[in-house]
């Protein structure tokens, strides 16, 4: 938000081009990366619902809101630090900072203020362990990923995925006050899912990360290596997903869902690993695009199955899991 | 003096002011709701009568 004053000539519109563009409310909302926030809210909610004890619905609502705001604050701080490369890349050049709607200092202050607010509110509403986890998530995403490792390692997607994997752990901790094997497996599911999801995307989008000097696996190790990486991570992902079947999270719906989804996901990863660039370009990366779309469904259905199983247990349709 | 139409700048500022206002109202509602839940374990009727969870 710039603090431009309005002059008489501005009213007349005669110097419109000289006026700094002031931010609208939606520009600040854009700083919170609302698309990423949807995943944060959903997985955080699943962690909260799947936890073995209960929480008052209003406190649960506040907890999810705090997790969402904390995730958004991390996004704002990410945009603050990465404003230079956001301005270079086409995909991010319309973000509020490179577009000139929000200046760097405001984005920084906005991010820090919301970080402090979300952590404090979560601590007061639920417990300080969950608040500490949220604070660590923000720290991890901003300092470890954005500031330190994003620009120096092609494994940046893997590291960034860890930050995105924390919400179900925080949701779980908000209810129970601790971390359990189940919440760690939910973390692992998102953590292992992120690399194949983004690398599939990187295969069929013309990335301009190299222009911004951000090392991406497709550029640093080549596309063939990226395809192999997708397969390896998908195998590891299947191991963690199926391991969830043997915990309290593994109700009948989840077990069936996990077996089917992981078989299909693995099939897709094998198909990707076997393809060469000529074949992919000829069909406009049909398999890669299909795999990417399916990866969204994959994560949604795994976590959705956890909620359905928990709901059925609540309705006592089958024994406690 | 004739009435001049609002500059686009005003609509931007209005959206910020309205947004901030809504956020502040939401914040008050959240703190109030949390207070009621924490003190009365969610029993609004007890909150109205002033009774606490321990009574």
pLDDT at A3: 37
Q: Are A2 and A99 in contact (CB under 8 A)?
A: no
Q: Answer yes or no: do A164 and A256 share one domain.
A: no
C-beta of residue A201 within 8 angstroms of C-beta of residue A295: no
In a domain, A119, yes or no: yes
Residues of chain B with C-beta less than 8 angstroms from the C-beta of A72: none
Q: ipTM higher than 0.85?
A: no
Q: What's the whole-number average pLDDT of chain A?
A: 90
A14: in domain:
no
Q: What is the pLDDT of residues A7-43, one digit of tens each?
A: 333 433 333 333 457 888 999 999 999 999 999 999 9
A112-161 pLDDT, tens digit each: 999 999 999 999 999 999 999 999 999 999 999 999 999 999 989 899 89
> What per-residue confidence (pLDDT) applies to B50?
65
The answer to whether residue A267 sits within a structural domain is: yes
Give the number of domains in chain A.
Answer: 2
Q: How close A311 comes to chain B (CA, Å)?
A: 22
Contact B34 A23 (CB under 8 A): no
**A1 inside 8 A of chain B by CB:** yes
Look up tokens 């002033």; give the residue: B50
Whether A25 sits inside 8 A of B20 (CB atoms) is yes
pLDDT digits (tens, 9 = 90+) for A71-102: 999 999 999 999 999 999 888 999 999 999 99
Q: What CATH number does the domain containing A139 carry?
A: 1.10.357.140
pLDDT of residue A12: 38
- Say what the pLDDT of residue B10 is: 85
What would the mean pLDDT of A291-302 be, rounded to a whole number? 97
Q: Which of B33, B16, B11 is nearest to A65 (CA)?
A: B33
> What is residue B47's predicted lDDT score, i.e. its pLDDT?
65
- Tell me: do A138 and A185 sit in the same domain: no
Give the pair of three-digit tokens for residue B1.
Answer: 């003096």
For an interface test with B, give the residue of A2, A54, A57, A58 to mutate (most B CBs within 10 A).
A58
Distance CA A93, CA A100 (A): 10
**Which residues of B are less than 8 Å from A26 in CB distance?**
15
A16 belongs to a structural domain? no
Residue A15 lies in a domain: no
B45 contact A CB<8A: no
Give A24's contacts in chain B (Cβ within 8 Å). 11-12, 15-16
Residue A59 contacts B where some CB pair is shorter than 8 Å: yes
Q: Do A152 and A40 fall within a single domain?
A: yes
A241-290, pLDDT tens digit by residue? 999 999 999 999 999 999 999 999 999 999 999 998 898 989 989 999 99
B-chain residues within 8 Å CB-CB of A125? 34
Asked if A56 is an interface residue toward chain B (Cβ–Cβ < 8 A), one would say yes
**Residue A209 and residue A98: Cα distance in Å, rounded?**
16
In A, minimum Cα distance to B14 occurs at A24
Give just the sign of the alpha carbon dihedral A38, A39, A40, A46: positive
CA distance A72 to chain B (A): 15
At A319, the pLDDT band (50, 70, 90 cuts) reads low
| Mean of pLDDT values over A165-183 | 97
Same structural domain, A50 and A108 = yes
**Is there a contact between A82 and A146 (Cβ–Cβ < 8 Å)?**
yes
Write the residue in A13, A23, A59 that is nearest to B16 by C-beta.
Answer: A23
A59 and A197 together in one domain: no
Burial class (CB in 10 A: 0-12, 13-18, 19+), A50: buried
Residues A255 and A266 in one domain: yes
Q: Are A70 and A111 in the same domain?
A: yes
User: In the structure encoding, which two tokens stand for residue A205, read together?
Assistant: 């989008």
Same domain, A132 and A245: no
Stretch A178-196: mean pLDDT, rounded? 97
- A56 and A173 fall within a common domain: yes
The pLDDT tens digits of the residues spanning A190-233 come to: 999 999 999 999 898 866 777 787 888 888 899 999 999 999 99
Q: How far is A172 from chain B (nearest CA, A)?
A: 19
User: For residue A181, how many other CB atoms are within 10 A of its CB?
Assistant: 12
Predicted confidence at residue B1, as pLDDT, reads 58
* Together in a domain, A32 and A168: yes
- Alpha carbon A15 to its chain centroid, in Å, reads 42
Element (H, E) at A312: helix A286-314
Task: Output the six-digit token pair for A93.
Answer: 């050049």
CA atoms within 13 A on the CB side of A269: 27
Domain with A138 in it: 22-177
pLDDT of residue B2: 63
| Closest CA–CA distance from residue A99 to any residue of chain B (Å) | 15
A26 touching B (Cβ < 8 Å) = yes
Average pLDDT rounded to a whole number, residues B25-54: 79
Question: Are A170 and A222 found together in one domain?
Answer: no
DSSP three-state, residue A83 = helix
Q: Which residue of A has its CA nearest to B18?
A: A25
Say if A321 falls within a structural domain: no
Q: For residue A293, name the pLDDT band (cuts at 50, 70, 90).
A: very high
Residue A150 lies in a domain: yes
A47 and A168: one domain? yes
């Amino acid at each position: 938000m710039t603090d431009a004053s309005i002059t008489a000539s501005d009213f007349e519109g005669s110097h419109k081009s000289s006026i700094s563009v002031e931010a609208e409310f939606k520009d600040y909302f854009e700083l919170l990366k609302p698309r990423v926030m949807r995943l944060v809210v959903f997985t955080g909610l699943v962690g909260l619902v799947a936890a073995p004890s209960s929480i008052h619905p209003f406190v649960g609502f506040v907890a999810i809101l705090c997790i969402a705001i904390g995730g958004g604050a991390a996004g704002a701080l990410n945009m603050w630090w990465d404003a230079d490369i956001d301005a270079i890349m086409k995909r991010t050049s319309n973000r509020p900072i490179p577009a000139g709607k929000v200046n760097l200092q405001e984005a920084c202050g906005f991010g820090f203020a919301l970080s402090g607010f979300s952590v404090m509110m979560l601590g007061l509403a639920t417990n300080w362990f969950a608040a500490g986890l949220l604070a660590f998530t923000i720290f991890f995403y901003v300092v470890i990923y954005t500031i330190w490792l994003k620009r120096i390692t092609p494994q940046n997607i893997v590291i960034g995925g860890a930050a995105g994997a924390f919400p179900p752990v925080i949701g779980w901790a908000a209810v129970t006050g601790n971390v359990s094997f189940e919440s760690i497996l939910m973390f692992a599911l998102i953590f292992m899912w992120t690399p194949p999801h983004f690398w599939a995307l990187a295969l069929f989008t013309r990335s301009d990360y190299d222009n911004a000097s951000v090392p991406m696996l497709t550029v640093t190790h080549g596309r063939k290596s990226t395809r192999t990486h997708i397969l390896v991570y998908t195998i590891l992902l299947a191991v963690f997903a199926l391991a969830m079947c043997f915990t309290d999270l593994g109700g009948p719906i989840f077990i069936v869902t996990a077996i089917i989804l992981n078989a299909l996901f693995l099939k897709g990863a094998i198909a990707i690993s076997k393809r060469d660039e000529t074949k992919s370009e000829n069909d406009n990366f049909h398999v890669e695009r299909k795999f990417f779309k399916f990866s969204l469904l994959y994560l949604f259905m795994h976590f959705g199955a956890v909620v359905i199983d928990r709901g059925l247990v609540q309705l006592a349709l089958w024994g406690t899991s | 003096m004739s009435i001049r139409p609002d500059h686009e700048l005003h609509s931007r500022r209005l959206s910020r002011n309205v947004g901030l206002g809504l956020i502040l109202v939401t914040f008050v509602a959240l703190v109030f709701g949390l207070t009621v839940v924490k003190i009365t374990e969610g029993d609004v009727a007890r909150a109205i009568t002033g009774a606490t969870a321990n009574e």
